[in-house]
Chains A and B, each alone.
Chain A
Amino acid sequence: MKISELINEELLVTNLEVNDQWDVFKVLFEKLFKNGYVKETFLEGIINREKSYPTGLLLGKNNVAIPHTDAEHVLKPAIALATLARPVIFRNMANPQEEVPVKIVFMLALNSPHSQVEMLQQLVSLFQNDDILNQILNVKGGDEVIEIIKNAAL
């Protein structure tokens, strides 16, 4: 399964104005929940996980975060994506003492790790490609994000 099969326009929000990571979680959870991808318990799962094991990735220029939680909260796999008008602070996955200003949030609804290997590997390739992250940050609408991801040779 590829990223492009898990992401769609109803799960995308660009240039989102929020004050903190918890607001981003609410917005992306609402999209996943409303469209039938996750259970109502997913949000609490995301918040608890983030507090004990943060998901900010310090990449350099364009930092990302990948909030996710246990499979039991997920109905069908999907990725919800937000680009942020202003970076919000996450904690670094590798070192929670460290703050990471994040510009793009990928909320992952995963229900089985092994079937999603290819997608996760693509996602990691995406994180390591600063050009594509820049393109995603500079789009006007969500449909363009999907085009960029589809066209990227990941």
Chain B
Amino acid sequence: MDKKKSERKVVLVACGTGIATSTVVAERVKKIIDDNGINADVIQCKMSEVTSKESGADLLVTTSILPRSFSIPVVNAMGYLTGIGTENIDKEILKYLKD
């Protein structure tokens, strides 16, 4: 089933416990969404919870290792913690959400 362009997108932000690094990343992703007027929701979760949420989501953003491959695009957001390449991460996330 094709999604309409106007449909609200869902971004999963995951880390090992879904409590620390994903909080920082989720705030940043929410800001990107707001700043660019994108119609999207952010859901913060544990890596182990991604399986049950994956089918309803459009993008996975994570600071964590990937235990397997996913059916949705994945953006590695480790740079938001280290400060390396943060603008490129912003661009990559935007690219997927504007499609």
A residues near B (Cβ < 8 Å) are 49, 52-53, 55, 57-59, 66, 68-71, 93-96, 108, 110, 113-114, 116-117, 120-121, 124, 127-128
The docked-state distance in angstroms from the alpha carbon of A121 to that of B27 is 9
Q: How large is the interface on B (under 10, 10 to 19, 20 to 34, 35 or more residues)?
A: 20 to 34
**Inter-chain contacts of B22 with A (CB < 8 A):** 113
How many residue pairs at the A-B interface have CB separations less than 8 Å?
67
The docked-state distance in angstroms from the alpha carbon of A145 to that of B23 is 25
**At the interface, yes or no: B83 with Cβ under 8 Å from chain A?**
yes
**At the interface, yes or no: B1 with Cβ under 8 Å from chain A?**
no
Chain B residue, CB-CB nearest to A58: B82
Chain B residue, CB-CB nearest to A125: B83
Chain A residue, CB-CB nearest to B83: A128
Q: Is the CB of B17 within 8 A of A49?
A: yes
Of the residues B20, B24, B27, contact of A68 by C-beta under 8 Å? B20
Of the residues A52, A59, A66, A128, contact of B20 by C-beta under 8 Å? A66
**Inter-chain contacts of A55 with B (CB < 8 A):** 16
The docked-state distance in angstroms from the alpha carbon of A121 to that of B24 is 6
Within the complex, the shortest CB–CB distance from A1 to chain B, in Å, comes to 12
Q: Is the CB of B65 within 8 A of A53?
A: yes
Chain A residue, CB-CB nearest to B78: A94
Q: Is the CB of A110 within 8 A of B82?
A: no
**Inter-chain contacts of B11 with A (CB < 8 A):** none
Q: Among B20, B27, B76, B80, which residue has the most Cβ atoms of chain A within 10 A? A: B20
The docked-state distance in angstroms from the alpha carbon of A114 to that of B56 is 23
Of the residues A57, A110, A121, contact of B19 by C-beta under 8 Å? A110
Within the complex, the shortest CB–CB distance from B89 to chain A, in Å, comes to 12
Q: Is the CB of A57 within 8 A of B82?
A: yes
Q: Is the CB of B23 within 8 A of A49?
A: no
Q: Is the CB of A53 within 8 A of B82?
A: no
The docked-state distance in angstroms from the alpha carbon of A36 to that of B60 is 36
Q: Is the CB of A117 within 8 A of B27?
A: yes
27 CB < 8 A contacts A-B: A52-B16, A53-B15, A53-B47, A57-B81, A57-B82, A66-B20, A68-B19, A68-B20, A69-B17, A70-B19, A71-B19, A93-B16, A94-B63, A94-B64, A94-B65, A94-B76, A94-B78, A96-B65, A113-B18, A113-B20, A113-B44, A114-B23, A120-B20, A120-B23, A127-B81, A127-B82, A127-B83
